[in-house]
Amino acid sequence: MSSNNSLRLNLIHNVKNEMKDPNGWVFQDMFFREGDSLTPLDYPNTGLTVDNIYNGSFTGISFTDFVTGDNPSFRVSFSNEQVHQPDPTLSLTADSLNADVRMTIDSDKPIVQRSRNSEQYEEPYLIDSAGNKLTLDVMPIENSVFSYKLSYTKNNPPVSPETEYTLVIPEGYFITGYAQDVPEFRQTLTTEKFLGLTFLEYYALDNDRCVSNSFAASDNSYGRIELFADSRKAEFTEYNLSGKAVFRNTFDMPDALGEEETPLSCRVFRLNDGNYAMCITTGVTNYFIKIDRYGKALSEIFTLGDDAVDIYIQNVSRIEFEPYKNGICKLMKSSGDRSAVLLTIDFENAPKITPVNYFEAYFPLDSNSYLRRQFIEDDIHLYLNNSSDEVVADILLDDSFMGAYTENGNIKILFKHTEMTADHKSVRSYYFAIYDSSGSLLAKEVLSDSAAENLNNYYTNSIVGTDNGYYLSYNEWGSKETKVYVFDSDWNMLGEIKADSKTTLLFTGNSGIVIRSLKVAADDVPSFSVSRLSLVEPEIIPTPVLGDANGDGKVNISDVTAIQLKLAQYDVPDLNELAADIDGSGLNVNDATLIQKYLAEIDTEYTIGEKVE
């Protein structure tokens, strides 16, 4: 009576009278009654269960003519005539057809997934007009062999909005009684209107290199730094918003790293002055240094190990640093003893550790200022701090803080104001309070009623403002998932994306860069998928022309001069080393010689004058 689950059905089981109560619990009549039968064609049937699935070997046994009452009986018969169970009828219900595709496939007869070890049967997939396949995940619904959940939550390639796809469940992926293949199922569907992701690239990690996070390299590009342990070299690569490399430069790792130390992780952030903060973590300590895009050191190297914070909190090596205070900092919390510290570094002073209240919250504005929210008795204060940790302004919060960002040197803070009407209904309005760098209130910008209505259903604790709209993000207390809501400049909702704990978000210009952790199935190598989320069609930096070292759009003697100046260790700010490195071996005098041969119309084996591949 009690061991009949959906995947291993015993003979004494009857689902005809299955019902559910309002709480979702399943009640089943477990006994056979008059009028019931148990044959090779019923559900359940007399097939022997194998491999933990219902479908099994044909027995030919039938139980019929059930009689109940004081003298119960039934008839048993046998036939060796093989039977073919009727093919099931499948139907599809679309639960979600936005960036996350979620569907339910239902069958009028019991079906199960064929053993996943059977490589000859293909997984269900979506196929677009170009023939690209998007492989689906399939999960059985608990306590049912009639329904399965199909989903596509990957972004390589991403699902496009308002696009027609064909769902294909290949023949033999599902099987019915006696291991009979369920025929192929196809259905056309069209995705909804939503703000889609554009897949850019993916990169994998290996044992010979350490790859940094992706970071904003300029106002409309992103970058990445790779550290090569064997050569003690580092490589800075900048990408445009189509994922094409537009700048590459190789430089030496900081001298402070010991010869036996191997970089385990690297974090890089762009600062307000256009340079970069870099943190390299080894098995010994953390190294902090400020560099330019060519890898030139702009500060001394600071170090910080576990011992420095042991009295406050443990495991500094697992910290992911964030940029503000003209450097990098991180609020570290330990749930065990409710301790918290703020770790900061400004590249002019040694790392500074400040014990803080566990319930404080910090909001980076730029690399010169940040906000600190603190509860004092019954009041909530929002402090504006400068790069010296001095309180510039104390803002007593009467309204709910929803995020802040800087614009034209001023600070814009989004607030939500709530009032109760006479009939005890809450009415919410929204406004930006604009402050200058000294904390003086300059103006209030009240959002329109339509904007307030659009915002009313969303929570946020971070905002990124652009020329064409806003990115609002929200992370619920205790949740590993971040939701990003995207609005245009009139506060019309454009769409949302969900970012789990394995997703990194950064914003550059009108685009958001979404980096998701994944694994290459072939060799299970940890890797990252990079996609773009754009408010507008991005202005793309053109792919450079090989030989155009100074970026003026043509190859001439000026490019030779630029390379020679760089090799002589002069500062050449407009030099594009990706275009200048003709032979791909790193910038050297041979590159200048090859350009000179090209200008003299002497054949070389390189595609000088054409776009860099």
Write phi, then psi, for 578 (nearest 5 degrees): -65, -40
pLDDT digits (tens, 9 = 90+) for 210-238: 889 899 999 889 999 999 878 888 999 99
Are 90-194 and 542-613 in the same CATH fold?
A: no
Strand partners, 113: 174
Write phi, then psi, for 222 (nearest 5 degrees): -130, 160
341/29: higher pLDDT:
341
205/129: higher pLDDT:
129
Q: Which one-letter amino acid corresponds to residue 611?
A: K
Q: Quote the DSSP letter at residue 178.
A: G
pLDDT over 90 percentage in the chain: 30
What's the half-sphere exposure (Cβ side, CA atoms, 13 Å) at 523?
Answer: 6
Residue position matching structure tokens 């369920």? 182
The closest alpha carbon to 399, from 432, 361, 357, belongs to: 432
Q: Is the pLDDT of residue 282 over 50?
A: yes
CA dist., res. 563 & res. 181, Å (int)? 66
Helix (H, G, I), strand (E, B) or coil at 512: strand
CA dist., res. 20 & res. 50, Å (int)? 29
Helix (H, G, I), strand (E, B) or coil at 565: helix
Question: What is the average per-residue pLDDT within 313-321?
Answer: 62
Structure-derived torsion over alpha carbons of residues 446, 452, 457, 458, reported in degrees to the nearest 10: -30
pLDDT digits (tens, 9 = 90+) for 74-104: 999 998 887 777 889 999 999 999 888 999 9
CA dist., res. 167 & res. 163, Å (int)? 13
Considering only 92-101, 115-124, 340-349, 398-407, which range has the smallest mean pLDDT?
115-124
CA dist., res. 362 & res. 411, Å (int)? 15
CA dist., res. 444 & res. 47, Å (int)? 74
pLDDT digits (tens, 9 = 90+) for 144-203: 778 999 999 776 678 888 999 999 999 989 988 777 889 999 999 999 988 888 888 888
382/526: higher pLDDT:
382
The pTM assigned to this predicted structure is 0.74
3-state secondary structure 72-128: CEEEEEECCCCCCCCCCCEEEEEEEECCCEEEEEEECCCCEECCCCCCCCCCCEEEC
Residues 6 or more apart from 436 whose CB is under 8 A from it? 409, 410, 411, 442
C-beta separation of 435 from 427 below 8 A:
no
Question: What is the average per-residue pLDDT within 533-558?
Answer: 86
Residue 495 has a CB neighbour count (10 Å cut-off) of 18
Q: Quote the DSSP letter at residue 482.
A: E
Residue position matching structure tokens 């019991």? 110
Task: Please tell me the chain's helix, strand, coil percentages from 3-state DSSP, rounded to the nearest 5.
Answer: 5, 45, 50
589 sits in which H/E element: helix 589-599
- Could you tell me whether strands 174-176 and 48-50 are parallel, antiparallel, or unpaired per DSSP bridges? unpaired
- Could you tell me whether strands 101-107 and 147-152 are parallel, antiparallel, or unpaired per DSSP bridges? antiparallel
User: In 115-230, at which residue ranges do the beta strands (DSSP E only) sit?
Assistant: 125-127, 133-135, 137-140, 147-152, 164-169, 174-176, 180-181, 185-190, 197-204, 209-211, 215-218, 221-228
CA dist., res. 498 & res. 485, Å (int)? 9
CA dist., res. 401 & res. 415, Å (int)? 5
303 sits in which H/E element: strand 302-304
The closest alpha carbon to 462, from 475, 452, 453, 451, belongs to: 475
Q: What is the distance of C-alpha 462 from the center of its chain? A: 17
pLDDT band at residue 523, thresholds of 50, 70 and 90?
Answer: low
Write phi, then psi, for 51 (nearest 5 degrees): 55, 35
What is the pLDDT at residue 169? 96
3-state secondary structure 408-459: CCEEEEEEEEEEECCCCCEEEEEEEEEECCCCCEEEEEECCHHHHHHHCCCC
Structure-derived torsion over alpha carbons of residues 194, 195, 199, 200, reported in degrees to the nearest 10: 170
Rg of the Cα trace of the chain? 32
Helix (H, G, I), strand (E, B) or coil at 549: coil
The domains of the chain are located at 19-78, 90-194, 542-613
C-beta separation of 54 from 145 below 8 A:
yes
pLDDT band at residue 2, thresholds of 50, 70 and 90?
Answer: very low
The closest alpha carbon to 508, from 462, 463, 466, 461, belongs to: 466
pLDDT digits (tens, 9 = 90+) for 356-380: 888 888 888 887 788 988 888 778 8
CA dist., res. 140 & res. 145, Å (int)? 7
CATH 3.40.50.300 fits 542-613, yes or no: no
CA dist., res. 227 & res. 216, Å (int)? 18
Query: No. of H helices and E strands in the chain?
Result: 5, 46
567 sits in which H/E element: helix 557-567
C-beta separation of 561 from 518 below 8 A:
no
What is the pLDDT at residue 17? 43
Number of residues written out for the chain? 613
The tokens for 498 are 């969900």
Helix (H, G, I), strand (E, B) or coil at 55: strand
Q: 90-194: which CATH architecture? A: Sandwich (2.60)
